[in-house]
Amino acid sequence: MQPSLEQKLWMYETMVLSRRCEEQIAKIYMEGKTPVFNMANGTIPGEMHLSDGQEPVAVGVCAHLDAEDIVTATHRPHHQAIAKGVDLDRMMAEIFGKATGLSGGRGGHMHLFDPAVNFACSGIIGQGLGPAVGAALSRKMQGKPGVAVAFIGEGATNQGAFHEALNLAAVWNVPFVCVVEDNAWGISVSKAASTSVPRNDVRAASYGIPGHYVEGNDPYRIHEVAGEAIARARAGKGPSLIEVETFRLAGHFMGDAEGYRPEGEKDALFEIDPIPRMRQRLLDDGDASDEQLSNIEKKAEERIEQAIRFARESDEPRPEDALTAVFAQA
């Protein structure tokens, strides 16, 4: 089933929002890092993993989720966070390390937590699977609605936590969906070199759950397959595993020279950038006019500018605040 027109426009808008976010972060990240690139310096220090190219996965899945549903995400979390509705101003402020950030600057870009929309992410590969299964279990035990989705990269499917969590979710029949973003690379190590099967959907058979592989980084197909898996989970029929073929247009992190990629691979990917492709499709299908889409794009740009303004204008945390929030507040 195709997404509704409203869903399509939301997906496009959210993809553009995510991309503008990454483009702006990429630019600001370099402030203070030239002529000598040193991660420790600049407006945004530390590692930076951008999600350019992988937006279709986030929007295709999150189109089916409400605030009450749970998402655990990865070290590359911005597209997933935006699609889940994380507070954009506070997310940006967190990335900048400001006091107004989601965690007041304690976490940084790999540790975005927004309990209002049940979003969390982590810098340890495969770490989000357990908590997603646990949140799904909690909803089941409490008799409350909601499904939990764990986003992971294809590299994480070789981590013990992946296999343990899928088995656990299956054996307890909890409302859980594992979504694998297959961008073919775990830093410099290719999927082919690290994974015993070409596609991870077949691994679902080991846990007696449905497995799907979605080709082509296609937001509509992702939307359809994710919709079925999420509906199934909501209906109490148990977990599913979905692997989505996608690609990253950014390096593994900012500063990655990507020498491990075969010659020409990267250029070919820009040719199939999902955002212009979706735009064209919306036009071709008569779903939106050029003017409508331009408006969406303009709005997205303004929204990101606003978030950046908020982040820039916010105060830094007090250094001694490092010592607070270790334990739960009374």
Ligand X SMILES: Cc1ncc(C[n+]2csc(CCOP(=O)(O)OP(=O)(O)O)c2C)c(N)n1
Residue ranges in 95-124 that form contacts with ligand X under rule CB under 6 A: 123-124
Q: Is 46 in the site for ligand X (CB under 6 A)?
A: no
SS3 state at 206: helix
* CA R_g for the chain: 19
What amino acid is encoded at 139 in this protein?
R
| Contacted by 36, from other proteins, ligand X, none: CB < 5 to 8 Å by type | other proteins
Residue 182: beta bridge partners? 245
Q: Which stretch binds other proteins (CB under 8 A): 15-23, 77-85, 116-124, 299-307?
A: 116-124
Q: Which stretch binds other proteins (CB under 8 A): 36-44, 205-213, 238-246, 295-303?
A: 36-44
Q: Is 155 in the site for ligand X (CB under 6 A)?
A: yes
Residue ranges in 120-139 that form contacts with other proteins under rule CB under 8 A: 122-127
Surface-to-core class of residue 131, CB atoms within 10 Å of its CB (0-12 exposed, 13-18 middle, 19+ buried) = middle
Q: Which stretch binds other proteins (CB under 8 A): 76-84, 151-159, 171-179, 235-243?
A: 151-159
Residue ranges in 255-284 that form contacts with other proteins under rule CB under 8 A: 255, 259-260
Q: Between residues 69 and 94, which has the closer beta carbon with respect to other proteins?
A: 94
Q: Is 31 in the site for other proteins (CB under 8 A)?
A: no
Asked if omega into 3 is within 30° of 0 (cis), the reply is no
Place of tokens 């204008």: 313
Q: How far is the CB of 206 from other proteins (least distance, A)?
A: 16
Q: Is 60 in the site for other proteins (CB under 8 A)?
A: no
The closest of 55, 125, 86, 76 to 303, measured between CA atoms, is 86
Please answer whether residues 201 and 212 qualify as being in contact, where contact means their C-beta atoms are separated by less than 8 angstroms.
Answer: yes
| Contacted by 247, from other proteins, ligand X, none: CB < 5 to 8 Å by type | none
Please answer whether residues 79 and 296 qualify as being in contact, where contact means their C-beta atoms are separated by less than 8 angstroms.
Answer: no
- The 8-class DSSP code of residue 264 comes to T
Return d(Cα 148, Cα 135) in angstroms, integer: 7
Q: Is 81 in the site for ligand X (CB under 6 A)?
A: no
Q: Between residues 1 and 40, which has the closer beta carbon with respect to other proteins?
A: 40
Nearest 5°: phi and psi at 299? -60, -40
The closest of 209, 210, 228, 202 to 60, measured between CA atoms, is 228
Q: How far is the CB of 252 from ligand X (least distance, A)?
A: 6
Q: How far is the CB of 42 from other proteins (least distance, A)?
A: 9
Q: Between residues 65 and 132, which has the closer beta carbon with respect to other proteins?
A: 132
Residue ranges in 173-202 that form contacts with ligand X under rule CB under 6 A: 183, 185-187
Q: How far is the CB of 284 from other proteins (least distance, A)?
A: 40
Structure tokens that stand for 176 in this block: 């859980």
DSSP assignments along 149-185, one per residue: EEEEEGGGGGSHHHHHHHHHHHHTT-SEEEEEEE-SE
Return d(Cα 68, Cα 317) in angstroms, integer: 30
Q: Which stretch binds ligand X (CB under 6 A): 86-94, 152-160, 227-235, 306-314?
A: 152-160
Handedness of CA 52, 58, 63, 65 (dihedral sign): negative
Q: How far is the CB of 5 from ligand X (least distance, A)?
A: 31
Return d(Cα 57, Cα 61) in angstroms, integer: 6
Q: How far is the CB of 123 from ligand X (least distance, A)?
A: 5
What residues make contact with other proteins under the rule CB under 8 A? Answer: 36-41, 45-47, 97-98, 105-111, 122-127, 155-156, 158-161, 186-189, 193-195, 255, 259-260, 316-323, 326
What residues make contact with ligand X under the rule CB under 6 A? Answer: 75-76, 123-125, 153-156, 183, 185-187, 252
